[in-house]
Amino acid sequence: MRQNQARRAALLDAAIDVLAREGARGLTFRAVDAQAGVPGGTASNYFANRDDLLTQAGTHVYERLTPDPETMARSLEGPRDREKVLQLMHEVVGRVSAYRAGYLALLELRLEATRRPGLRAVLTPRIRKDVDDNVDYHLSSGLPGDATAVTLLYLAMNWLIVERLTLPDVFGEEQARELVERAVERLIPEV
């Protein structure tokens, strides 16, 4: 088992791309090698088996999905009102939709977790933490809306992103924008 951490990370990035592009069906060691631009057989030297690869990819996606602290700080500038929440939601939906590969890979991993207890054990606390962090962040930053409101927003926004990424013509871009606005409008109190 090789120890080059930079290369391992590159392979995991490649694995995420492959997951998104080819699906769990296409995630093979050789496909990862090709995507990462390394010689065939390399991934075999870095991961014991498919399960190992998937599990590590699972923890890795989140490191790419979370925004850098700077962006987060900047997004909080100005008054903490409903308008700000709307702005944040647009930002989140935009950011996640933009990292298409990451989000799609995460969906693939969720489905794969259905049959792999090891993967499920990795993803569950990670996502649980994500939800909690979202709520905590929202509450502690003094934005309007309670924990329930934030959670409901989380649910709605996630599915909206799924729709946009998988069947973009079900809700057009304009309609998607409007749904974000309506969701905030109805779930977040106007101070």
Partner DNA sequence: AACGTAGTACTACATCTGGAGTGGTGTCAA
Partner DNA sequence: TTGACACCACTCCAGATGTAGTACTACGTT
Give dist(CA 37, CA 29) in Å, integer.
12
Among 170, 173, 177, 191, binds a second copy (CB under 8 A): 170
Among 12, 19, 29, 183, binds DNA (CB under 7 A): 29
For helices 100-113 and 50-65, the axis angle rounded to 10 degrees is 140
Nearer to DNA, 18 or 104 (CB): 18
Q: Which residue has the tokens 């870095």?
A: 46
Helices (H), 23-116: 29-36, 42-46, 50-65, 69-75, 82-98, 100-113
**Going residue by residue from 48 to 87, which x/- string records binding to a second copy, judged by CB under 8 A?**
----------------------------------------
The dihedral through the CA atoms of 151, 157, 162, 167 has a sign that is: positive
Among 50, 95, 116, 126, binds DNA (CB under 7 A): 50
Q: Which residue has the tokens 């990035």?
A: 13
The minimum distance between CB 13 and DNA, in angstroms, equals 15
- The torsion defined by the Cα of 19, 163, 180 and 154, in degrees rounded to 10, comes to -60
The dihedral through the CA atoms of 165, 167, 173, 176 has a sign that is: negative
* DSSP 8-class letter at 50: H
Give the number of residues in contact with DNA, rule: CB under 7 A: 18
The minimum distance between CB 44 and DNA, in angstroms, equals 4
100 binds DNA (CB under 7 A): no
Site for DNA, rule CB under 7 A: 2-4, 7, 26, 28-31, 38-42, 44-45, 49-50
Which residues are near a second copy by CB under 8 A?
21-25, 104, 107-108, 110-115, 120, 123-124, 127-128, 131, 148-149, 151-152, 154-160, 162-163, 165-167, 169-170, 179, 182-183, 186-187
